Structure 1
Amino acid sequence: MSLITGVHHVGFSVPDLEEALKFFTEVLGFELVSQNALPTPDDPITEQFDVEPDESIRFAFLKAGGDTIELIEWSSPRQHRQMPRNPDWGGRHLALKTNGLEETLAKLRTVPGVRVMKPRGEHFVYVQTPFGMYLQLMAPNA
């Protein structure tokens, strides 16, 4: 019997929460579920998130289909302010299903700052958002 029954959500740190929310909701069509900030006077976060008292977080949960992601903007005086590349430790991407790969790519090519990589056959294409996050767009038959 497995101890884990599934994935609740996946969180991604972003440099600017508003920019990321606008991209995910207006461009990709995600639904904003909730948004919040910590710490609050009655909810310190140092022990829960392994952070220092002068660090804070703003975050939002979004849904697409039945899946949930969390976008997180951290504020910290010791923060590394560069998105990791794919081969870097901590590098990551979010693979998204699409009903039409070409249609999705056509829309994304009109968004300033989006970088579309060379397709990998007919199965998927990597895209970099204007804020540096990598997305992997998956064809319906992939």
Structure 2
Amino acid sequence: MTAVAPRGLPGLAGVEHIGFTVPDLEAATAFFTEVIGCELVYTLGPFQSDGSWMTDHLNVHPRAVMDRLAFFRCANGPNFEVFQYESPDQHPVPPRNSDIGGHHLAFYVQDLDAAVAHLRSHWVTVLGEPTDSTGPSKGQRWVYFLAPWGMQLELVSFPDGKAYEGALDQSERQGVRLWQPEMPDQSPR
């Protein structure tokens, strides 16, 4: 009998952090702490190299300078590692979802309408109105918004779950549920 090699990374435990670059780390810190509600944990930097270290280790221009980086914790879920770089070949415009490498971060909230009102009260650009999902995501509501530097972000909520959780049988979804943050217990103690 031939042994089958296990799939994936040995010891995989989950997503520890997500990293992205902003044009002004101080302004991004204010946005993530004051508007979103994340906590700044620590900062580092600057980092630069006269050799090829930046290219060899980070796949950036060899003369790129990582001015600073900051780690944030945003309630439950992966940490954020946020960079501020200077680089001779830097692209100053964030990618759209339709661009290769396009991305967004989604924040789970219990009350989507209250969260949208909060963003609007802070003059955050909200893209359209909340959308009710259909199909396997039925039960979910979402809306996109923009960080002050143009990065795409999303609010999402599905307090009663999504349709796929009950509508699809175990063989179709292989017993796997999407991960979602757990809300802290709000009951009085």
> Does the CA-based 8 Å contact 2:111-2:157 persist in structure 1?
yes
Give the structure 1 partner of residue 125 of structure 2.
115
| Cα displacement (A) at 1:99 | 2.2
Give the structure 2 partner of residue 55 of structure 1.
64
26-35 vs 44-53, which moves further: 44-53
| Cα displacement (A) at 1:40 | 5.8
* Structure 2 residue runs without a partner (length 5+): 1-5, 133-139, 162-189
- What SS does the aligned partner of 2:45 have? strand
Distance 1:37 1:48 in 2: 16
Q: Is 2:97 the partner of 1:89?
A: no
Larger RCO of the pair (alpha carbons < 8 Å, separation 6+): 1
Read off the aligned partner of 1:25 and give its amino acid letter: T
Aligned length: 139
RMSD: 1.9
Task: State the percentage of identical aligned residues.
Answer: 39
Q: Is 2:34 the partner of 1:26?
A: yes
* Structure 1 residue runs without a partner (length 5+): none
TM-score (norm. length: structure 2): 0.67
Moved over 6 A (4+): none
| Cα displacement (A) at 1:8 | 1.1
Read off the aligned partner of 2:70 and give its amino acid letter: A
Give the structure 2 partner of residue 75 of structure 1.
86
Read off the aligned partner of 1:52 and give its amino acid letter: H
Read off the aligned partner of 1:128 and give its amino acid letter: L
- What SS does the aligned partner of 1:132 have? coil
94-103 vs 52-61, which moves further: 52-61
Structure (1 or 2) with the greater helix fraction: 2
